Amino acid sequence: MTDGRVTAVSRSATHTFGKTTEPAIRLLTGLGVEGDAHLGVTVKHRSRVAQDPTQPNLRQVHLIQAELHDELRAAGFSVAAGELGENVTTRGVDLLGLPVGTLLRLGRDAVVEVTGLRNPCGQIEGFQTGLLKQVVGRNENGELVRRAGVMGVVVAGGEVRPDDPIEVERPPLPHRRLDRV
């Protein structure tokens, strides 16, 4: 059963804030997106490398729901697929509501295991003033809420294209809530 769809795929060979949309990307098992700066077994995000370059790369693939782009545009921001640094833009899947360990089957062969929430950095404010407050805030209980997508690791490689179906497979109970990774 299809839970949602891929609306765009993106990558960047360098550490740029945004990524260029592509007709297709290839996910490589245990590594990430072929040709992307964050490809690898160990961390590639510069702040994480500075802390400990031997950490496992739990941020191989970044996914954002297109519904966030819709909300941001309605709030007056100009945002398109890939511009917030995501590799896969989705529609119809509540990414932020998934538990840790959820498997996302993208297209025919690719599978990404969700590892946690993206913790957006100050670069997002440099992209558009006021955007950080739109994607990070506090709920009525004062708890921090991150809305800038989820991160994952590739457990099965394959090609991913816009309009590919997404199937969601939640892990066995008990579920662990997503936290920043």
Interval 8-56: pLDDT, tens? 999 999 999 899 999 999 999 999 999 999 999 999 888 888 899 999 9
* Residue 16, token pair as written in the block: 């740029």
The more confidently predicted of residues 45 and 180 is 180
- Mean pLDDT, the chain, rounded, equals 95
CA distance 15 to 130: 22
Q: Cα-flanking dihedrals φ and ψ of residue 124, to 5°?
A: -65, -30
> pLDDT tens across 50-94, in order?
899 999 999 999 999 999 999 999 999 999 999 999 999 999 999
Confidence of residue 96 (pLDDT cuts 50, 70, 90): very high
Q: What is the pTM for the complete model shown?
A: 0.96
In the prediction, which pLDDT does 1 show?
A: 62
CA distance 76 to 173: 40
Beta strands in 107-178, from DSSP E residues, in sequence order: 110-117, 136-138, 144-146, 150-156, 158-160, 165-169
